[in-house]
């Protein structure tokens, strides 16, 4: 009797695969939420499109190609340059900091409509303060390694 009870209360952990438990749970939860969204939102929307009550939001609309392709190019350059600059200053997070400041400034300029000295000054301040604050909190307070 005692050996059966002690076997119920004993725990053995396989450290080779234990780190994979929660990612699997999160993946299944996200997959379930994705299916739920498809069933509750996308299927009724597509049925309304088929009946002619609604239209697809992207098809047939005008697009600002300069901003669209500029955004794609900036995002690609951001991830590429973060690794390049991060390798110049390993384990400091300066790659994240420097490239994020430039990325945020250029992205803000890309979508700026009112080109005045005041708005550009606000963009510069925002481009410096936001990534610096994020870098300080992540790299210094929580000691999270950044590229």
Banded model confidence at residue 54, pLDDT cuts 50, 70, 90 = confident
Residue 147 buriedness (CB in 10 A; 0-12 / 13-18 / 19+): buried
Alpha-carbon gap, residue 22 to 29, rounded angstroms: 10
Mean pLDDT, residues 19-34:
90
Question: Residue 108: is its pLDDT beyond 80?
Answer: yes
* CB distance 123 to 117 below 8 Å: no
pLDDT for 4 equals 64
CB atoms within 10 A of CB 104: 20
Q: What's the whole-model pTM score?
A: 0.62
Rounded to 5°, the CA angle 111-115-119 comes to 85
Mean pLDDT, residues 44-57:
85
Closest to 110 measured CA to CA, from 59, 130, 133, 102 = 102
Question: Residue 93: is its pLDDT beyond 60?
Answer: yes
């Amino acid at each position: 009797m005692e050996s059966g009870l002690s076997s119920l209360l004993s725990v053995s952990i396989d450290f080779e695969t234990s780190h994979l438990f929660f990612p699997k749970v999160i993946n299944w939860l996200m997959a379930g939420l994705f299916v739920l969204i498809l069933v509750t939102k996308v299927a009724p929307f597509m049925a309304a499109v088929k009946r002619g009550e609604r239209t697809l939001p992207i098809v047939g609309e005008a697009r600002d190609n300069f901003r669209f392709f500029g955004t794609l190019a900036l995002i690609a350059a951001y991830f590429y340059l973060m690794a390049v600059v991060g390798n110049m200053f390993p384990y400091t997070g300066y790659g994240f900091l420097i490239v994020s400041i430039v990325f945020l400034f250029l992205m803000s300029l890309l979508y700026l409509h009112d080109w005045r000295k005041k708005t550009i000054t606000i963009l510069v301040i925002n481009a410096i303060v936001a990534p610096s604050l994020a870098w300080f909190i992540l790299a210094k307070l929580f000691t999270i390694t950044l590229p």
